[in-house]
Structure 1
Amino acid sequence: MIDLRQYPALLRRQPSALLLGAQLLGVVLYPLMEGHASGQIVLAMFGLVMVGLALLVVRRSPTATWVAVVLAGAVVVLSAWNEVQPSRLLTFAIALAESAFYFYAAASLMAYMLHDDHASRDDLYAAAATFTVLAWAFAHLFAACQAMAPHSFGAQFHPEQPRTWTELLFLSFSTLSGVGLGDIVPLRPMARGLVMLGEFAGVMYLALVVSRLVGLLTLRRGGAGRDDAR
């Protein structure tokens, strides 16, 4: 029987799993809540929760935690300011600050994984969480681009309207994974440049980080097999 009392301690040991679960929940939650007035409040609160979870993960990495705290604080302050006095410039600044925060969180997760000479279970969760964090980072970068240069991204349906957060997140996942479904496309030069950077980041992440974890797991299994043979 599963002892539920073990879960808090387990999540403290493996915060990457909690971050991964929250972001996968967000992938489902955003389409359901977008477009509703009350839903925007829920999504804003959910976004702050994910920032907190990312901070929890950053603390376990060898990188400087204070950088992530400063970036997270900038996101909170700018978001509150935008609620009082909304403007396109503030929308751009918030998206840019969130993008910088998630990029730093992704770099911290990668430093955490590369710091070990063996692949633990939390490293595997961290590998999956890093991909979702990168997707969030590029989606916020796309949002910043759209805030300062309207019509940067087009779509088959309602091409004249700005792309929603869910659409930009979908574009980010498609770009990083190399799927490239193509129903949401960059139109302006800066948007195309950002998408190309996303494609490059996705390829390099698989080549450098994921391949290293696979190699460590292979070595561990090979070592265990030799010990059994003895």
Structure 2
Amino acid sequence: MIRVLLADDEPLIRAGVRATLGSAPDIEVVAEAADGHQAVEMARAHRPDVVLLDIRMPRLDGLGAAAELATAAPGTAVVMLTTFSEDDYLAGALASGAAGFLLKSGDPRELLAGVRAVADGGAALSPSVARRVITQLGQGPWGRAVAARTRVGELTGREREVLGLVGAGLSNAEIAERLFLVEGTVKAYVSAILARLGFKNRVQAAILAYEAGLVPSS
């Protein structure tokens, strides 16, 4: 069972997300919070597998909560819930070490898949959010694509293949199944990719995979 903490200051949003998560037999909402401080304290108490954080909350916003959760609950994956009006927060959320970015108003199946992916060590990145993050990071799309392809050119062919699947949100186990490798080998590839590129987490790698055009279409 995947244990989830949901943090959003809007009761209606929490109710909608809770209903979506409650429809899945393998996901349980163990606690809810209305602000970032509550989220951190509840994460300490409940030790959830995944925390869904609204980016904008009173007292302590999602970015601040994500930073505190890195030390308060280091084994917990953090997913930022965003709307189309919160582009200014996306680059900061990426730097906070979040394991995923999902739209509040997105497809419920995308939310469920994202929670499962990060709980399994993967990344959850809505394609529309990925495009907006890339835009927010500066340069034009063409300039970033050239720079990204230059960076991934340092990787081996197999590493680029693994990076593309990380960008698609697959977990290590799913990548291993796709490439007919053992999971430990995939984990080693991912660690080597992050180290070589100087990234802290899979979401940063996923963004680069999108920029470089490595994410498979299906």
TM-score (norm 1): 0.30
Structure having the larger proportion of residues in helix = 1
Structure having the larger proportion of residues in strand = 2
Instruction: State the structure with more CA Rg.
Output: 1
Structure with more relative contact order (C-alpha pairs < 8 Å, separation 6 or more)? 1
TM-score (norm 2): 0.31
